[in-house]
Chain A
Amino acid sequence: MNDITSLTLTQTISALKDKQFSEEELNNAYLEKIDALNPKLNIFLEVKKNTRGIPAAIKDVIITKNIKTTASSKILSNFIPQYNATVIGKLLENGVSVIGKTNHDEFAMGGSGENSAFGVTKNPWDFSKVPGGSSSGSAAAVCADLCTFALGSDTGGSIRQPSSFCGIVGLKPTYGRVSRYGLIAMASSLDQIGPMTKSVEDTALVLDWISGADGYDSNVSSEKFKVQSSKLNEGIKGLKIGVPKEYFGEGLDPKVEKVIKEALKKLEELGGEVAEISLPHSQYALAAYYIIVPSEVSSNMARYDGIRYGKGRENIGAEVKRRIMLGTYSLSSGYWDDYYAKAAKVRTLVKRDFEKAFEKVDVVVGPVSPTTAWNLGEKVNDPLKMYLSDIYTISANLAGIPGLSIPCGFSEGLPVGLQILGKQWDEETILTVGYAFEQATQWHMEKPKL
């Protein structure tokens, strides 16, 4: 038999059912691997030595009862919560256990993992590259087979972009699909927890587990997500696939573009009807995003006031401070109309772009990121350059729609992710597209040599 840790979640569940190995053996296999690799990759901030359950890695911005939850910030370095996030409760009910808390950019603010107060996570494909961010540790953990699956959070691409850089499957669900209760807030109107897995099928299963209303998050839909495996198998014959021309302009690395174009060809071969579309307000999305996000951040970070949680505010990192200052400024008296109110209008226009597009097509497909993983340290001193790497992912957050990243090839030895965006509440269709692609290509089976 193969190494236990290389199995997907669905394979692991059926192997456990068939008694091919015990839960204890399963946990030990992963723990051994973590012991060997974590010192090199710096993925886990905390490891729990369980003997039961299916081991999942949880981004350390998600609250876990009695397990230290730091948001990768020194200001919460001693915080041991008294409660569980809704998603954790739901995972535990489904026989999952928390094997560890993963590193990420401090308070999920960043696109490379380098803003963590506890050191950078390395990309398992190339230790000199960033793993992407902010869910850096969760992506690297799935990629390096240090867990069966992971949870991340996505405010502007923080699940999809690291999934793309590490060659795994990552889904940002529709805003309101998964309860945010227990997710340490970055930008509350955009944050969403989602699965990071080894296959599309796994993502569907995890979403099924963690979605649904809980009576704690007022924005969650009461409808639970349930995807039929027969639906996943349906294929994409006749499915209308829109390719936004705005996602193929200046800034897109030609080598990445080539991989994406090949993937589009593959979708056509599988029966999809690919057509160019336009999302005309895309160019304004980034500017609006960087008003809305810092505004909400400035308010959400106010509770870390130096009185509570045992640490002073000098423990807050540079990127978090930058956003607190930007947001405090844009919400200040007299600036409301020029900044927040205008950004909210742009947000509505971005949303309408998608609504119009989805009148003609079933899914929208393009690159996740303009480039593959860059060198560690390459962009740390240029926040604007760092922000621009989110250009294709933030629109989905502004519009509240679901977005999936799946492995679709390599450029110079580094993974490239294909982004599949869907209608609000229609995760099913994008998962169907992802599944069809995955079955036909097997890119998701590629593993780094560690």
Chain B
Amino acid sequence: MAYGETQAMTKYEPVIGLEVHVELNTKSKMFCRCSADYFGKEPNTHTCPVCLGLPGALPYTNQQAIDDCIKIGLALNCKISEKSLFERKNYFYPDLPKGYQISQYRWPLTVNGWIEVEGREEIRRIRINRAHQEEDTGKLTHHGGSTLIDFNRSGVPLVEIVTEPDFESVEEIRDYSKKLQQLFRYLGVSNADMERGDMRLEANVSVKREGESELPKYRVELKNINSFRFMVAAVDYEIKRQIEALEIGERLSQETRGWDEDKKCTYLQRSKEEAHDYRYFPEPDLPPFFLDPKKIKEIKNSLPELPWNRAKRYQTKLGIKKNDAQHGRKHKIIPQEIANYLINKKSDINTLLPTQIIEEILDKRVGVIENEEELEKMAKEAMTENPTAVDDFVKGKQQAIQVLIGAVMRRTQGKADAKRAREILEKLLK
């Protein structure tokens, strides 16, 4: 796909790679026993000597997180490394209590995978360089002149997925990001909620003359962008900015840029001169791990059918139209559920729209949580997490309850009866 087609002389094509960080929903943190469920909790209550980086404390690996990372790698057709190890990424930042992040660099857990994405015209393979394991940092909040640090997030497991610079259009980026989000939810390894920061995107963007085989000598990193929409807008803007710069003979250099949603443009955050030298070296506190092929096979066999494979199967074997199939895969609906629905309702398949079927199945989902106590617990949690919605509802804004119902549905991964959830919430909110 060529950009700058309006330019008479040269055509350019973008070179884009993506880095996705996803926070795992394990019970405990990556290297200590603190609860990893930090969202909306009282600051600095989920901490211990390890995740505070106190002198003398040592990391101790959470095996569940490693398994989850392997799951993600396998789903992305990655090779699982026989020998893998953690390294220290050294840099200074107030939210990083040890002065280094435990991450992976030379010996990542999984490497060399691929995924198919849909662009404007065709389906193409994007190569995955790696999916590796690391830990999250604390969180800074700026209040006027002062800054507060919350270490509840410090040490929460993160998986980083890095692609090769294979993307050619923003459409491919959009499709890739959505597919990954869906994958994380399918595998049950993360809620992958962008707004909550469960899933974060970074793009490396540069442009080259069309047909040129060599990669550009610079790249611009787009960072700290918290929605698919903004990312797409930022990449789009950046491609145009870079082409314009090259057209007037400017030399582009390595830098990090952010997205200004008000002005609808990217802006400089850090130039090449300020780039970090992370001084990676093997984390001496953690022995290297050798992955047992038998265990990997077990994990592989335990993977659910992947969303894109399911969609493909619906299309080829069941003759369901692509959009409907995608709708189905998004909600993890299996054909058996559709069959049950049709039999129970004695419906006429010719008069029903597939989307309608899916929505009704979702309402009456098999395996709904019927335990009142459990639902009530979830509802209460949803209320603590969303104090504004509670306030709004109490003040008479009826619509606000939707936020809370949504939160309950998310917590139950869609297994709550929405009607029942509403009743319970209404009771609690009285």
Contacts and interface: CB of A to CB of B under 8 A. Distances in A.
Interface of A: 62-63, 69, 71, 76, 79, 81-83, 85, 180-185, 187-189, 215-219, 295-296, 298-299, 301-303, 305, 307-308, 328, 331-333, 336, 340
A262 to B, nearest CB: 39
B383 to A, nearest CB: 33
Nearest to A308: B97
A293 to B, nearest CB: 11
A71 B277 CA distance: 28
Contacts of A299: 88, 90, 99-100, 279, 281
A307 B94 contact: yes
Contacts of A189: 284
Contact of B55 (A184, A187, A219): A184
Nearest to B59: A218
Interface in B357-396: none
Given A69-B55, A307-B94, A308-B97, A296 B284 contact: yes
Main secondary structure of the interface of A (DSSP, over half): loop
B291 interface: no
A182 B54 CA distance: 9
A215 B32 CA distance: 10
Contacts of B56: 62-63, 81, 85, 180-185
Most chain B CB within 10 A, of A216, A328, A332, is at A216
Contacts of A298: 90, 279
Given A79-B55, A185-B55, 20 more contacts: A63-B56, A81-B55, A185-B56, A185-B285, A216-B58, A218-B58, A219-B286, A219-B287, A299-B90, A299-B100, A301-B99, A302-B99, A303-B53, A303-B55, A305-B92, A307-B94, A331-B280, A332-B277, A336-B280, A340-B281
B59 A71 contact: no
B335 interface: no
A302 B100 contact: yes
A57 to B, nearest CB: 18
Contacts of B253: none
Contacts of B61: 218
Given A81-B54, A183-B56, A218 B49 contact: no
B57 A181 contact: yes
Interface in B176-196: none
Contact of B49 (A69, A83, A187, A336): A83
Contacts of A185: 55-56, 285
Nearest to A219: B287
- Most chain A CB atoms below 10 A, which of B58, B61, B99, B287: B58
Contacts of B92: 302, 305
A-B interface, 6 closest residue pairs, ranked by CB to CB distance from nearest: A302-B99, A189-B284, A331-B279, A188-B284, A63-B56, A182-B56
B277 A333 contact: yes
A188 B86 CA distance: 14
23 contacts: A71-B55, A81-B49, A82-B54, A85-B56, A181-B58, A183-B56, A184-B56, A185-B55, A185-B56, A189-B284, A216-B58, A218-B58, A218-B61, A219-B285, A295-B281, A299-B90, A302-B92, A303-B55, A305-B92, A308-B97, A331-B279, A331-B280, A332-B279
A332 B49 CA distance: 29
Best-buried of B54, B279, B287 by chain A (most CB within 10 Å):
B279
Contacts of B98: 302-303
B39 interface: no
A76 B55 contact: yes
Nearest to B277: A333
B60 interface: yes
Interface of B: 49, 53-61, 88, 90, 92, 94, 97-100, 277, 279-281, 284-287
A328 B279 contact: yes
Contacts of A336: 280-281
Residue in B53, B55, B277 whose Cβ sees the most chain A Cβ within 10 Å: B55
A425 B272 CA distance: 49
Given A83-B49, A299-B100, A63 B55 contact: yes
A99 B207 CA distance: 68
A217 B58 contact: yes
B287 A303 contact: no
A298 B91 CA distance: 11
B286 to A, nearest CB: 5
A81 B92 CA distance: 23
Contact of A218 (B54, B280, B281, B287): B287
A305 B99 contact: yes
Contacts of B287: 218-219
Nearest to A335: B279
Contact of A303 (B97, B277, B286): B97
B65 to A, nearest CB: 14
A7 B61 CA distance: 43
Contacts of B49: 81-83
Contacts of A62: 56
Contacts of B277: 332-333
Contacts of A217: 58, 60, 285
A151 to B, nearest CB: 13
Given A83-B49, A188-B284, A307-B94, A216 B60 contact: yes
Nearest to B55: A184
A88 to B, nearest CB: 10
A330 B59 CA distance: 24
A298 B90 CA distance: 9
A180 B58 contact: yes
B116 to A, nearest CB: 35
Nearest to B31: A218
Contacts of A183: 56
A219 B88 CA distance: 17
A303 B49 CA distance: 13
Contacts of A331: 90, 279-281
Nearest to B93: A305
Contacts of B97: 303, 308
A83 B286 CA distance: 21
A215 B60 contact: yes
A218 B90 contact: no
A309 to B, nearest CB: 8
Contacts of A184: 55-56
A106 to B, nearest CB: 13
Contact of B279 (A76, A187, A218, A333): A333
A38 to B, nearest CB: 25
A218 B55 contact: no
A68 to B, nearest CB: 12
Contact of B60 (A76, A218, A332, A333): A218
A1 B284 CA distance: 50
A76 B54 CA distance: 11
Contacts of B55: 63, 69, 71, 76, 79, 81, 184-185, 303
A188 B285 contact: yes
